């Protein structure tokens, strides 16, 4: 199969590597922001973020989107949620009627001015149908590229075809038609992972109970939001919800962000510092968009997300907010 | 209320501390194995495992079980599963008809020679009714004693009365009548936490994906076993299942045990070394009893528990067993 990955960052380059392992003819296309990623790869050096060479993969710069999509059988969408509409707008004229496996996580604003799922907002904004399949589940780019056992959940009408193209060896893939539930879980987990990190900053190392309590609460809240968005409980209780929250909360940037906010520094300052150091903190924005998505659908019983929003976006103090947290589980 | 805690180990002393915080008149009774725990406490020194003083708590040695239970309103059962039948046999003549909140986790052998829940086996073996309430959920002794936010799930007919006696402040308590599901989750989580530890030993630090995949698989398998034992899915998806597995897998002895086995040392040797160092490894026995419990109830689709049993109890090699693991989620 001819597989083209849009977006040459961390996850895009990892998915390209996996597609190559499956024997596909792979193109990795970089957006106009990805030049620093592709430059060393073109010289045969390791990808700056993935730290692996991209052997046997055709690399294309942003000007060549038409060539990247020409005759392709499957597209992987690995552009950040911020860039999704811009990239897909440019891709639209060249995109064949093939499945688009999206590893992008987050909500976007629809033309009605409400937060919604990427698979709904992108087609609406670019004015054409896209056969989105959402790739959910606990998959760190570096680990899938290094053949660590990984479980993903592909969601959407073309999920089975995407599984056939990618699953095998160390990569286990489940499929579901519940794209709503899967995307909602993916969008929410960054927010809740930040919340679990707060405890590490606030209490210190011995906050295992509090982290586990909030993990449990997060799953309960994800269930409510997923239901309100048309998703199913089983998706929350599988790789997309429980699994992805587990891996995201175990470490990484969102936890680090939460930890620093938990120590008492204003979230805005922590986000600015991390951005200056080149570290993306999806959780910061994810708390705001998740809160909007849930409120716009009338979901009310979300004490943990409410506390996170109060701390991170409304300037509430960490000790008093966490002390006042009432769990609903 | 007059509250007596049976078992002066780590969790028993923590529950006594919490009961004291709620203003109860508290007695902590030590079994014949608990003398080294009580001795320093009697002199006003810290409890050797909890590392806190037990202020305002009456301490009684094993000979005084009758006095410990005299006129009591609520009993906390905090004896290890190995000692449960022996202690409750001695307690039976003095035990009033009051709720017995049990923090003991594991399966026991019934008189039919099958593995079963503690709340069923103990009454059968001691020949009298016991109003067991099972305390499930992610609660590390040191953290509940130090007022870290903790979520527990009390399960059984008297769960609400036990909640009234213990919940408050940092301790959040949910209640359910699903004692089957709650006890099964508590018994299984040590086994699966060991399994997650295997990956740390086998792959090293960057096994987050594999750990999260197996966390997801563990929840799916716990659901099957809970159903077979008369429990409900919602219990698995709450504090008793998801929450307790999260905290147990995050660290501690079972993970350490799994990690060392994952590096290739036979489980029997690791268990012996840890026992010699005074470290309990519940996960070692829990894998065997969980496997028996599930098999005796005809549950078959348990690839992860089967792999753990093969590695830990049947001498199977770690690399080939983990490489052959087929996830069902």
Over residues A233-269, the pLDDT tens digits come to: 999 999 999 999 999 998 888 889 999 999 999 999 9
Residue A100 pLDDT more than 90? yes
Q: How far, CA to CA in Å, does B158 sit from each of A265, B85, B108, B126, B299? A: 44, 21, 22, 20, 30
Q: Are A151 and B216 in contact (CB under 8 A)?
A: yes
The residue-averaged pLDDT of A173-199 equals 96
Residue A90: pLDDT band with limits 50, 70, 90: very high
The pLDDT > 90 percentage for chain A reads: 93
Question: What tens digit of pLDDT does each residue of B107-129 get?
Answer: 999 999 999 999 999 999 999 99
- A208: which chain B residues are within 8 Å (Cβ-Cβ)? 138, 140, 143, 148, 247, 250-251
| pLDDT reported for residue A329 | 85
Strand partners, B136: B153
The CA-atom distances, in angstroms, between A224 and each of A56, A116, A301 are: 44, 16, 8
| A145 vs B283, residue with greater confidence | A145
Average pLDDT over residues A99-121: 97
| Model pTM score | 0.96
**Is the CB of residue B60 less than 8 Å from the CB of residue B30?**
yes
Q: Do A215 and B242 touch (CB under 8 A)?
A: yes
Tokens 């109970």 -> residue:
A209
pLDDT score at B252? 83
Q: B281: Cβ–Cβ under 8 A, 6 or more apart, which residues?
A: B194, B253, B254, B257, B270, B271, B274, B275
Cβ neighbourhood burial of B289 (10 Å; 0-12, 13-18, 19+): buried
Residue B170 has pLDDT above 90, yes or no: yes
> Tens digits of per-residue pLDDT, B228-284?
999 999 999 999 999 999 999 988 888 899 999 999 999 999 999 999 998 878 889
Which residue in chain B has the smallest CA separation from A140?
A: B209
| Domains annotated on chain A, with CATH | 2-177 (3.40.50.720), 180-323 (1.10.1040.10)
pLDDT, averaged across chain B = 96
- Which three-class secondary structure state does DSSP give residue B188? helix
Q: What is the mean pLDDT of residues A41-60?
A: 96
- 8 Å CB contact between B318 and B219: no
pLDDT at residue A132, rounded to an integer: 98
Q: Nearest Cβ partner of A216 from B209, B243, B326? A: B243
Residue of A2, A140, A163, A189 with catalytic role: A189
- B151 with A215: Cβ contact below 8 A: no
- ipTM of the complex in this document: 0.96
A328: confidence class by pLDDT, cuts 50, 70, 90: confident
Share of chain B above pLDDT 90, in %: 93
Q: Do A149 and B209 touch (CB under 8 A)?
A: yes
A327: closest CA of chain B, how far (Å): 7
Distances (CA, A) of A95 to A14, A62, A131, B224: 22, 15, 10, 43
Helix (H, G, I), strand (E, B) or coil at B72: coil
SS3 B256: helix
What span, in angstroms and rounded, lies between the C-alpha atoms of A291 and B160? 33
Q: What is the pLDDT of residue A322?
A: 94
B299: confidence class by pLDDT, cuts 50, 70, 90:
very high
| Mean pLDDT, rounded, for A188-202 | 93
Q: What is the spatial distance between Cα B132 and Cα B34, in angstroms, rounded to a whole number?
A: 23
List pLDDT tens digits, range A21-41: 999 999 999 999 999 999 999
- Radius of gyration from C-alpha coordinates of chain A: 19
Report the pLDDT value the prediction gives residue B315, as an integer from 0 to 100. 94
């Amino acid at each position: 199969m001819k597989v083209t990955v849009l977006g040459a960052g961390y996850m895009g380059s990892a998915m390209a590597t996996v597609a190559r392992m499956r024997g596909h003819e792979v193109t990795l296309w970089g957006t106009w922001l990805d030049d620093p990623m592709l430059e060393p790869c073109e010289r045969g050096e390791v990808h700056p973020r993935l730290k692996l060479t991209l052997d046997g993969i055709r690399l294309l710069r942003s000007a060549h989107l038409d060539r990247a999509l020409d005759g392709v059988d499957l597209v992987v969408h690995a552009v950040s949620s911020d860039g999704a509409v811009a990239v897909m707008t440019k891709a639209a004229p060249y995109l064949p009627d093939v499945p688009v496996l999206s590893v992008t996580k987050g909500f976007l604003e629809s033309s009605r001015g409400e937060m919604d799922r990427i698979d709904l907002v992108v087609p609406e904004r670019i004015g054409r149908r896209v056969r989105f399949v959402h790739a959910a589940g606990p998959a760190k780019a570096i680990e899938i590229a290094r053949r660590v056992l990984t479980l993903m959940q592909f969601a959407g009408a073309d999920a089975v075809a995407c599984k056939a193209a990618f699953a095998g060896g160390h990569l286990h893939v489940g499929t579901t038609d519940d794209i709503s539930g899967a995307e909602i879980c993916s969008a929410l987990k960054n927010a809740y992972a930040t919340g679990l990190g707060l405890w590490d900053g606030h209490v210190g190392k011995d906050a295992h109970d509090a982290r586990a309590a909030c993990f449990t609460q997060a799953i309960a809240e994800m269930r409510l939001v997923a239901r309100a968005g048309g998703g199913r409980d089983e998706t929350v209780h599988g790789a997309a919800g429980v699994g992805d929250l587990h891996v995201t909360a175990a470490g990484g940037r969102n936890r680090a962000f939460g930890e620093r906010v938990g120590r008492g520094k204003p979230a805005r300052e922590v986000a600015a510092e991390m951005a200056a150091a080149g570290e993306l903190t999806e959780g910061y924005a994810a708390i705001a968009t998740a809160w909007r998505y849930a409120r716009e659908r009338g979901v009310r019983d979300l004490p943990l997300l409410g506390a996170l929003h109060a701390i991170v976006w409304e300037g509430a103090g960490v000790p008093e907010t966490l002390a006042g947290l009432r769990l609903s589980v």
